[in-house]
Structure 1
């Protein structure tokens, strides 16, 4: 069994069921989420990448399928602000306490408003980063939404 992370600890504390999946992380992959989906043999629309962004003056967590790109215009609209921009990697790491390639929406150092692509809610289970490179958490979408108090929106 994989070593516990702040993400898995948060789910255990909340008594939310999840399954861990480990894979060989490729630090040279062009698209980390796509590499993870391929390594695990699952469809990329079920594996959500965790992105950190600024929406207005607030840092937000954004979950979108690994085969899609977030629309910053749609993110800003969902957050009720004029503009949004991606956080630089070093700032995302400082905010979350995780390394890029291992940023989980769960157990972050600071709490951020979270947004999830609405289409992801249609799946029975989805996968999100488990808090370290090479670890994914499989969870029911409703449980994830509840755990991070995410707002569903059309983000892609």
Structure 2
């Protein structure tokens, strides 16, 4: 019997009565394409010149356009957060950074084209652990704005 993983992200989804599907893959398992590959999104954490931290959720196959991110946040310039700054600011490590359940509720932005999908997949708060849910539920739980973010 496999152990049920309950991360902060899942506890928050449960508390908000949001339907989701969680999926874990053992460490060392290659990220081979699965049926959900097109749904998978990455959570990118960045800061502006004001030092305010922002969260961007975009498809893994795409690249964040820093100019569009700066426009969305009303910052002059956006810089990616250094890996060593990730854990102290979000409570998550690289590869396991979920937009749900960070230490603080940062201003969060979802790629606008993702909002029209039936479901999206984001990190569940641990490396190799994902959560599939409706974009509108993710938007609601992290108070995200939908904007054009990709190159």
With normalisation by structure 1, the TM-score equals 0.88
8 Å Cα contact 1:116/1:151 also seen in 2: yes
TM-align CA RMSD? 1.6
Alignment of 1:155 with 2:124, yes or no, is: no
Deviation at 1:40, TM superposition (A): 3.5
Deviation at 1:39, TM superposition (A): 4.8
Give the paired residue count.
147
SS across alignment from 1:131: strand
SS across alignment from 2:125: coil
Aligned partner of 1:95 among 79, 89, 107: 89
Aligned to 1:10: 12
8 Å Cα contact 2:115/2:135 also seen in 1: yes
Q: Where in structure 1 are there 5+ consecutive unaligned residues?
A: 30-34
Larger radius of gyration: 2
Q: Where in structure 2 are there 5+ consecutive unaligned residues?
A: none
Aligned to 1:115: 109
Cα distance in 2 for residues equivalent to 1:4 and 1:144: 17
Deviation at 1:26, TM superposition (A): 4.4
8 Å Cα contact 1:50/1:63 also seen in 2: yes
Q: Give matches, 1:113-152, under 5 Å.
A: 113-152=107-146
SS across alignment from 2:37: coil
Aligned to 1:21: 23
